[in-house]
Structure 1
Amino acid sequence: MIRHRDIWRALDTLAERSGLSTSGLARKAGLDATAFNRSKRLTGDGTPRWPSTESLAKVLNATGVSMAEFVALMGEGNAQALGQRIPVIGYAQAGESGYFDDAGMPVGTGWDEVLFPAIGDPNAYALEITGDSMAPAYRDGTVIVVAPNQDIRRHDRVVAKTVEGEVMAKELNRRSARRVELVSINRDHDDRVLAPEELAWMARIVWASQ
Structure 2
Amino acid sequence: MRHEDIWRAIDTLAAERGLSTSGLAKRAGLDPTSFNPSKRRTNEGKLRWPSTESIAKVLIATGAGIDAFAGLVQGARALSPPRAGARRVPVIGLAQAGQDGFFDDGGYPTGGGWDHVALPRTEAALADDPHAFGLTIHGESMEPVYREGDIIVVSPAAPVRTGDRVVARTAEGEVMAKVLTRRSVKRIELSSFNPEHPMRSFAPEQIVAIHRIVWATQ
TM-score, reference length from structure 2: 0.59
2:134–2:154 Cα contact (<8 Å) kept = yes
CA shift digits 1:147-190 (9 cap, x unpaired): 11211112110010110112211111221222112122211111
Q: Distance in 2 between matches of 1:115 and 1:98?
A: 23
Q: Distance in 2 between matches of 1:71 and 1:158?
A: 32
Q: Distance in 1 between matches of 2:170 and 2:99?
A: 11
**Which consecutive unaligned segments of at least 5 residues does structure 1 have?**
1-59
RMSD: 2.6
Structure 2 match to 1:193:
201
Structure 1 match to 2:95:
92
Structure 2 match to 1:49:
none
The answer as to 2:188 corresponding to 1:180 is yes
2:180–2:191 Cα contact (<8 Å) kept = yes
The answer as to 2:67 corresponding to 1:64 is no
2:84 aligns to what SS in structure 1?
helix
CA shift digits 1:178-209 (9 cap, x unpaired): 21121222111111121110101111111111
Amino acid at match of 2:106: A
**Which consecutive unaligned segments of at least 5 residues does structure 2 have?**
1-51, 69-80
Amino acid at match of 2:88: R
The answer as to 2:138 corresponding to 1:135 is no
Q: CA deviation at 1:80?
A: 2.1
Amino acid at match of 2:107: G
Residue 79 to residue 185, structure 1, CA distance change in 2 (3 Å):
same
1:71-90 paired onto structure 2 within 5 Å:
79-81=83-85, 83-90=86-93
1:35-46 paired onto structure 2 within 5 Å:
none
1:6-45 paired onto structure 2 within 5 Å:
none
TM-score, reference length from structure 1: 0.62
Number of equivalences: 147
| Aligned partner (choices 91, 107, 110) of residue 110 of structure 2 | 107
